[in-house]
Amino acid sequence: MMTDSDLGEELLKDQTDQGQYFIDDDGYLCRWKQTKDGFTPVRISNFEAHIVDEISEDDGIEVKTFYGIEGKIGDRVLPRVEIAASQFSGMNWTPKWGSQCIIEPGLSNKDYLRHSIQTRSNGIKRQTYYTHTGLRKINGQWAYLTASGAIGAENVSVRLPKELDWISVPAIPENETEAIKVSLSFLTIGPKHITLPIYVFTFLAPVTSILNPMPNFSQYQHGPTGVLKTTISELALSHYGDTNGRPLSNFEDSPNSIEKRSFTLKDIPHLVDDYCPSYRKIDAQQKEHTAQRIIRAYSNRTGRHRLFSDTTERGSYPPRGILNVTGEELPALQSTNARLSVNEISQGDIDKAKLTLVQQRSGLLPHAMSSYINWLLPQLDDIKLNFPDHFRRLRDKAFKEGQHAKLPEQTAFYQYSWETVLNWLTDKRIVSEKQAQKMSHDGWTVFNELAEKQAKRIDREDPVRRFKEVVQTLITQERVKLSHKDFPGDILGNEKAELLGYYDELHMYFLPTALWNSLQRYCISEGSHFPFSKQTFYRMLTSRRLIEPGKDSTTKEEWIEGKTKRVLKIARAFFDDDEAKKEKP
């Protein structure tokens, strides 16, 4: 006679093909539980689930794994859901299928459900997706990734955010010669000092991440509304896919979202549009903060570090491409402007008829870029090896005494990219060797002139120059007064105004706190701010040899009005316009 225990064992034996889990007659997922009386079926949930595919997302720094899961309640199929592997074991993802999916009460049932899914899932498809654009070595070979796959490699899958799925460069160019000629016609839509830097910058992008050093500047299309700065920037970007109607990054986006996109857009231009004036001060400050942050991030190749809730490092998203900004205003700070290459665009600079002709054939531009990238790929290891020496030679050649150190580097990057493009055009028999030599020489002239103009902008943003102008204005408008050091009755400025310091025939002796407060109040009154702290700025004046410092301080003790006072001692000649012109910071 068969006992209950024997019956349980027999039932368990009947289920061995399915393991310890089975579906009962009511459609419940069950498990066999061994008790002192034998094996007893225990319900786990009213649904069953299987892992159907395992997806790895590789962003170039870390690999994240996701599971694709399908399920059933009775005969009803539950749609596929995708969850991070790290979230699988908690089983808190089941609400994605709605409230009808019920896990039976019991502390261990979630764990048994998780175990049943893993042990009963067969034939799992495994797929790796790359989640960035640009260069990547795959199986030892260089490939260039876009949403449509890879140039230089087969059977490669790329998964980009929906907003970036327009980035699509064909693996093999079609109508290659015609496509390259259409691409070159971009140079005809406006003056070369505008179009050539944009064009060369566009073709610098595909090799960004392998260059050492990487490009440390961003391009800025600057001009009033209506001069087509966004239009020509989008047209240049069309070398990487159809930008028509696609959402661009802009200064209404959060800095974090722009930073994340800068990480995804590897070896591709990142266009951030419309740095424009704002009526509300808080909006203007937010845009300024965003501009400063992303421009510096692209220059320094750094991202903001973050922590998980348990204080372990989450990692950062450093920019891996190049940045192109359009705007009606320029960001403040001399150091930020040194990280920019600015194209000034005025009304009428862009020939609308020629622009329209290129726009009408913009579908060929990705084929030109495909030709260029296919031409580059076999040479990348040599480029990576030889670039540093070539870059140094170009930078040294572009060096000019008194110019900011970053500007010769901009010229070197532009010229290197232009030479590379010209080599491609020569190999493709689009231009002759003689034509390429002339075009290279003309480009060098354009890039140097661009750097010289930027040097003047940087000089205008010099905080020392700004300081001089504010002090001159305060005295001229009689908002402050300076008393003669030896003859107190002689006053510069307004006798009833706040005392800013003292003067004699050769020097001015500023009271440090009074000077700083007046400087801050003036900036606030005109809606700006002085970008340095008091001590940092006074040390800057000292390093420029404009302050005659004391023994251990930027201030110096002087005998004034019968007592010793600590003052900032500055030569009066500095505030004279004719002398100031001779002063070279």
pLDDT digits (tens, 9 = 90+) for 363-401: 999 999 999 999 999 999 999 999 999 999 999 999 988
Whole-number Å distance between alpha carbons of 102 and 421 = 62
Q: Where does the pLDDT of residue 406 fall: very low under 50, low under 70, confident under 90, or very high at 90 and above?
A: very high
Which range in 303-317, 467-481, 516-530 is most confidently predicted, on average pLDDT?
467-481
Which pLDDT score, from 0 to 100, does residue 310 have? 52
Rg of the chain in Å (alpha carbons): 33
Query: What percent of the chain has pLDDT above 90?
Result: 76
Distance (Å) of CA 149 to CA 21, 90, 132, 155: 41, 34, 11, 8
Supply 439's token pair: 């075009």
> Residue 147 pLDDT more than 80?
yes
Which pLDDT score, from 0 to 100, does residue 584 have? 40
Distance (Å) of CA 177 to CA 104, 273, 363: 67, 32, 14
Query: What percent of the chain has pLDDT above 70?
Result: 93
Cα angle for residues 175, 178, 183 (degrees, 5° grid): 115
Which pLDDT score, from 0 to 100, does residue 463 have? 85
> Residue 71 pLDDT more than 70?
yes
Nearest partner of 237 among 327, 188, 174, 167, judged by Cα = 167
- Quick one: CATH architecture of 178-459? 3-Layer(aba) Sandwich (3.40)
How many CB atoms sit inside 10 A of residue 318's CB? 17
Of 185 and 283, the one with more pLDDT: 185
Give the strand pairing for 157-158 and 38-45.
unpaired
Which pLDDT score, from 0 to 100, does residue 578 have? 45
Supply 140's token pair: 């030892």
> Residue 126 pLDDT more than 70?
yes
Cα angle for residues 85, 88, 93 (degrees, 5° grid): 120
pLDDT tens across 292-331, in order? 999 999 999 987 665 555 555 566 889 999 999 999 988 8
Which pLDDT score, from 0 to 100, does residue 19 have? 64
Q: Where does the pLDDT of residue 581 fall: very low under 50, low under 70, confident under 90, or very high at 90 and above?
A: very low
How many CB atoms sit inside 10 A of residue 195's CB? 21
Tell me the whole-structure pTM to 2 decimals.
Answer: 0.84
Choose the weakest-confidence range: 53-57, 194-198, 459-463, 476-480: 459-463
Contact 271, 327 (CB under 8 A): no
Q: What's the mean pLDDT in 111-140? A: 95
- What are the two backbone dihedrals, phi and then psi, of residue 525, each rounded to the nearest 5 degrees? -65, -25
Average pLDDT, the chain: 90
Q: What's the mean pLDDT in 549-576? A: 91
Show the DSSP H helices in 127-247 as ranges: 176-184, 192-204, 229-237
Whole-number Å distance between alpha carbons of 288 and 27 = 60
> Residue 17 pLDDT more than 50?
no
> Residue 262 pLDDT more than 90?
yes
Of 282 and 227, the one with more pLDDT: 227
ω into residue 463 within 30 of 0, thus cis?
A: no
Q: What's the mean pLDDT in 437-460? A: 94
Q: Where does the pLDDT of residue 37 fall: very low under 50, low under 70, confident under 90, or very high at 90 and above?
A: confident
Nearest partner of 97 among 77, 119, 123, 74, judged by Cα = 77
Of 289 and 70, the one with more pLDDT: 70
Residues in contact with 13: Cβ distance below 8 Å, sequence separation at least 6, in sequence order: none
For 383-415, the DSSP string reads HHHHHHHHHHHHHHHH--TTS-THHHHHHHHHH
Q: Where are the domains of the chain?
A: 4-129, 178-459, 463-582
Distance (Å) of CA 337 to CA 22, 58, 218, 228, 407: 68, 35, 10, 22, 10
> Residue 245 pLDDT more than 90?
no
> Residue 177 pLDDT more than 60?
yes
